[in-house]
Amino acid sequence: MADFGGDTDLEAFRAEARGWLDANFPKSLRGDTGAALMDGPAPEGDMAAWKTAMGEKGWGTPTWPAEYGGGGLSPQQARVLQQEMARIGAFNPLTAGMGVTMIGPTIMDYGTEEQKRKHLPPIIRGEVRWAVGYSEPGAGSDLASLQTKCEDAGDHYLINGQKIWTSGAQYSDWIGMLVRTDFSAKKHDGISFLLVDMHQPGIEVRPIKLISGASPFCETFFTDATAPKEALLGKENEGWSVGKRLLQHERASQTGAMGGGGGGGRSKPFQDIAKAYVGVDEDGRLADIDLRTRLTRHLMDARAHGLTLARAAAEAKGASGATNAASVLKNSATYVSQTRAEMTLEIFGHQGLGWEGDAFKQEELDAISGWLFGKAMSIYGGSHEIQNNIISKRILGLPDTTQST
């Protein structure tokens, strides 16, 4: 890759990116979000070809080090790549799973060189899928109460317990998980982080069905599952710090702050969808004045969220990854997304109440499913209330009123 520094060089990179995307992005996928990659098995056809091309180019992880197969791009180049992908309705097929958005960045933060060289290249190429094992039936918001037991068995670890809400576990090759290695220590101090191979008889995965239809969620059971000693990420009994770091990366990915060259998504502006369903007045404006006002406010909120993301990314230059700002942006992203989902159903009217049948367009069926699943945004990755606590204590410095005196 050539060195693209100033504005002139960035324009040269833009030309390179545009040429490569035009040559490699399948036109049949234009406007697709790639969402099915999270919930389903390995892709086929054009989707598989696009994933392979992005992985081999390293542009699915544009700013990751080239020595591991990443794009090695600067943040400015990654932004240009994102713009060029958006121009043609492309998307990043590598960000659909946990490998690029959570596990990979955490391995770069805490992994040994051997762990980086073993795990990062296949993540970058999209050859493996990862799950994250955090929540348990008795340890949700109070994650530090987790009870999955990890025993030192000499040359390996022995794992017994249960995880829940393990997204994509039924299709995953590996899982990054928090386990308890010292039951005598304080609950935050006896936790370790392991990188565990899912392809073994001691692991059973049971998918959980949701009302929205397709679901990524699973229950995962560990019965004498094993992991070698080199599977430990970070230090033994100090996994809570590793786990918190992964959550920062997760929240960053949920706000769009990863800067991974996403692009794509809906090619039709939201206001045009509204006009098509609700109608326009003699001046070409949305006919419903109240809806027009609320839609305008929503578009302003979405724009403000996007600009705040860009500002946070610029301020984070030179910093070591995600920051507490991700908690603010996570709540903002949830508000923008859920508001859009609610407004979409309102705009569709009775056409937004469909579940199946020829009387409904696919975008209408997708809207109701997306509205239902979108309710989870204010829960997963740290609930709305948990994020507010983080914001009040760590960012605003407000007193902790949850502890007894």
User: Which tens digit of pLDDT belongs to each residue from 185-205?
Assistant: 998 999 999 999 999 999 999
Question: In terms of pLDDT, which residue wins out, 254 or 281?
Answer: 281
**Predicted confidence band of residue 313 (pLDDT cuts 50, 70, 90):** low
Domains of the chain and any CATH numbers: 7-124 (1.10.540.10), 130-238 (2.40.110.10), 268-395 (1.20.140.10)
Does the pLDDT of residue 323 top 60, yes or no?
A: no
Going 206 to 209 to 214 to 218, the CA torsion angle's sign is: negative
Instruction: Provide the pLDDT for residue 342.
Output: 92
* Angstrom distance (rounded) from CA 109 to CA 260: 18
Residue 84: pLDDT over 60: yes
At residue 126, the pLDDT reads 92
How many C-beta atoms surround the C-beta of residue 131 within 10 A? 29
Does residue 6 surpass a pLDDT of 70?
Answer: no
The whole-number average pLDDT for the span 135-152 is: 90
Whether the CB-CB separation of 148 and 158 falls below 8 Å is answered with: no
Please report which confidence band the pLDDT of residue 248 belongs to, taking 50, 70 and 90 as the band edges: confident
- Where in the sequence numbering do the catalytic residues fall? 250
- Indicate if the pLDDT at residue 36 is higher than 80: no
Q: Alpha carbon of 85 to those of 30, 74, 91, 245, 260: distances in Å?
A: 10, 16, 7, 29, 11
Identify the DSSP state of 382.
Answer: S
Region of poorest pLDDT, from 55-59, 212-216, 222-226, 290-294? 212-216
Using DSSP, state whether 193 is helix, strand or coil. Answer: strand
- Give residue-wise pLDDT tens across range 50-75: 999 999 999 999 999 999 999 999 98
Q: Is the pLDDT of residue 345 over 70?
A: yes
CA 187 – CA 164 distance, rounded (Å): 19
Question: Is the pTM for the entire model greater than 0.85?
Answer: no
pLDDT score at 289: 92
Which has more confidence, 205 or 357?
205
> Is a pLDDT exceeding 90 seen at residue 38?
no
Coil, helix or strand at residue 191: strand
Nearest alpha carbon to residue 76 among 320, 261, 322, 255: 261
Q: How many CA atoms lie within 13 A of 98 on its CB side?
A: 27
pLDDT value of position 261: 36
